[in-house]
């Protein structure tokens, strides 16, 4: 099966290949110890949110999910606060009964 690549893409690939070769030769001439991946990333910066070898990173939470998480956390905080207040009041009641 023959692979068809547009002329623009073919030119871009040639340009990137030339830049990679130049960057590699420049590193060698300057005595820089860079890996092929580092050289590649210097010529073709990685896509935002993309980790090489792992694919795209996690997608940001939707606004609705973020609000839901925020409300859940607030409810947990209120429940914890109410539980602490309940324990405090229970101790006070026990202390009052003990003094009678």
Per the model's pLDDT, the better-predicted residue between 89 and 32 turns out to be 89
Convert the pLDDT of each residue in 66-89 to its tens digit.
899 999 999 999 999 999 999 999
Question: Any idea which residue has 């229970």 for tokens?
Answer: 90
Q: Which of 52, 74, 90 corresponds to the end of one domain? A: 52
The pair of structure tokens assigned to 35 is: 């890996």
Mark whether 27 and 48 lie in a shared domain.
yes
- What domain range is 38 assigned to? 1-52
Q: How far apart are CA 15 and CA 20, in angstroms?
A: 9
**Do residues 52 and 46 make contact, with C-beta atoms less than 8 angstroms apart?**
yes
pTM of the model: 0.42
Kindly tell me if the per-residue pLDDT of 41 is higher than 50: yes
Q: How far apart are CA 28 and CA 35, in angstroms?
A: 11
Alpha helices (runs of H) in 50-62, residue ranges in sequence order = none
Mark whether 72 and 89 lie in a shared domain.
yes
Mark whether 76 and 45 lie in a shared domain.
no
Number of domains in the chain: 2
- Residue-averaged pLDDT of the chain: 84
Per the model's pLDDT, the better-predicted residue between 26 and 45 turns out to be 26
Mark whether 80 and 42 lie in a shared domain.
no
Mark whether 68 and 28 lie in a shared domain.
no
Mark whether 67 and 26 lie in a shared domain.
no
């Amino acid at each position: 099966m023959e692979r068809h690549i547009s002329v623009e893409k073919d030119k871009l690939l040639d340009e990137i290949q030339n830049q990679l070769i130049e960057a590699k030769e420049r590193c060698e001439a300057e005595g820089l110890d860079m890996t092929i991946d580092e050289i590649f990333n210097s010529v073709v910066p990685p896509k935002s949110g993309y980790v090489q070898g792992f694919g795209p990173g996690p997608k940001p939470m939707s606004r609705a999910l973020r609000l839901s998480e925020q409300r859940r956390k607030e409810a947990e905080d209120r429940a914890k606060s109410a539980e602490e207040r309940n324990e405090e009041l229970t101790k006070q009641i026990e202390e009052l009964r003990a003094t009678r």
